[in-house]
Amino acid sequence: MTTTKVTVLGLGAMGAALAAALVRAGHATTVWNRSPGKADTLVDLGATAADTVHDAVAAADVVIACLFDADSVHEVLDPVADVLTGRTLVNVTTTTPDQSREIAGWAAAHGVTYLDGGIMAVPHMIGQPGSSILYSGSATAFEQHRPLLDLWGESAYFGEDAGLASLYDLALLAGMYVMFAGFLHGAAMVAGAGVSATEFARRAAPWLSAMTGGFAGFAAVVDGGDYTVPGQQSLEFSDLGDMLDASAAQGISTEVVGVVQELIRRQVDAGHGKEGFARIYESIKQPA
């Protein structure tokens, strides 16, 4: 097996999981964290702890940054830009698309090959089925280091634009968080009737899972641009008034459902009430 000299900067739960997977696969792995002590378990596995960022970067051909935010990437790496020159930087820190592009530009100006990554997994999933990481930036770096990247999960490449992986990452997370908020709203609705969140989850999970089968249909309508295609549930029929009234009667917030109702009402008020629910996409694309 070909091994790579790799450094992981940032040993929070995710950074530690990434580093552990590299060590277990036999790669010469150096680790660094701003606060001391977090490297101990990884050192026991076989990693080498560096005292400084300079030493950590100098020890590797590939540097993985798994830090707090875009500002922290610059705080950590700006002082060692000259050491990074000629190396590959894989930045899996959560950033906006524009921040990813800015960091890519900074890397290019310092002769650093740059690959941006969005991790679609929680730490315990790293290296397990279901883990995936989205990448954009240098195609050469992606192909050259694909065996290493694949240790963490399924690797998907979205092109040379360094911001695309971040864009896709945040878009997928948007769907997840809104779904979670909907589940928690439902749990709050039934709580007043003595139903536990655990019991509600047992019923909600298979229902929501089944409903994801509708994504492809919504996507086809949106891409086709025709919201009058037969077989869709109309916006008028999708009115959430009863849901809002029931929520208010339970004494809980209507904010989560109210957002969706507002998206529906905007399209109905514009004369599209007979068209399909997917048309709220237009409300989202064109904010009020």
User: Do residues 126 and 200 share a domain?
Assistant: no
pLDDT in tens, 50-81: 999 999 999 999 999 999 999 999 999 999 99
Longest dimension (CA), the chain: 66
Instruction: Determine the average pLDDT of the residues in 36-46.
Output: 95
* 186 within domain boundaries: no
Cβ(16)–Cβ(123) below 8 Å: yes
User: Do residues 28 and 72 share a domain?
Assistant: yes
Rounded to whole angstroms, the Cα distance separating 50 from 8 reads 10
> Domains in the chain: how many in total?
2
Domain containing residue 114: CATH number:
3.40.50.720
Distances in Å between the alpha carbon of 240 and those of 24, 53, 121, 130?
52, 54, 33, 34
pLDDT in tens, 234-287: 999 999 999 999 999 999 999 999 999 999 999 999 999 999 999 999 999 999
Q: What is the average pLDDT score of the chain?
A: 97
Say whether pLDDT at 1 is over 70: no
User: Do residues 135 and 234 share a domain?
Assistant: no
* 185 within domain boundaries: no
Cβ atoms within 10 Å of 274's Cβ, excluding its own? 13
User: Do residues 133 and 220 share a domain?
Assistant: no
Say whether pLDDT at 218 is over 60: yes
Which residues are CB-neighbours of 139 under 8 A, at least 6 positions away? Answer: 157, 159, 160
pLDDT at 165: 98
Q: Please say which residue of 113, 144, 159 terminates a domain.
A: 159
Instruction: Categorize the per-residue pLDDT at 36 as very low, low, confident or very high, splitting at 50, 70 and 90.
Output: confident
* 95 within domain boundaries: yes
* 85 within domain boundaries: yes
Domain containing residue 228: CATH number:
1.10.1040.10
User: Do residues 65 and 127 share a domain?
Assistant: yes
Rounded to whole angstroms, the Cα distance separating 253 from 61 reads 52
Domain region containing 53? 5-159
The residue with tokens 């922290």 is 72
User: Do residues 153 and 221 share a domain?
Assistant: no
pLDDT at 49: 98
pLDDT in tens, 253-266: 999 999 999 999 99
β pairing state of 48-49 and 28-32: parallel
User: Cα 164 to the chain's mean position, in Å?
Assistant: 12
Instruction: Determine the average pLDDT of the residues in 110-124.
Output: 98
Half-sphere exposure of 244 (CA within 13 A, CB side): 13
Instruction: Categorize the per-residue pLDDT at 3 as very low, low, confident or very high, splitting at 50, 70 and 90.
Output: confident
Cβ(151)–Cβ(127) below 8 Å: yes
Position 20: which residue type?
A
Cβ(89)–Cβ(63) below 8 Å: yes
Q: Please say which residue of 114, 138, 159 terminates a domain.
A: 159
- Output the pTM of the full model: 0.94
Calculate what percentage of the chain has a pLDDT beyond 70.
Answer: 100
Cβ(18)–Cβ(64) below 8 Å: yes
Q: Which of 86, 104, 82 is nearest to 95 (CA)?
A: 104
* 279 within domain boundaries: yes
pLDDT at 160: 98
The one-character DSSP state at 271 is I
* 260 within domain boundaries: yes
User: Do residues 111 and 250 share a domain?
Assistant: no
Task: Find the helix packing angle between 97-109 and 70-77, rounded to 10°.
Answer: 20
Cβ(279)–Cβ(263) below 8 Å: no
pLDDT at 199: 98
User: Do residues 92 and 199 share a domain?
Assistant: no
User: Do residues 22 and 116 share a domain?
Assistant: yes
Cβ atoms within 10 Å of 233's Cβ, excluding its own? 11
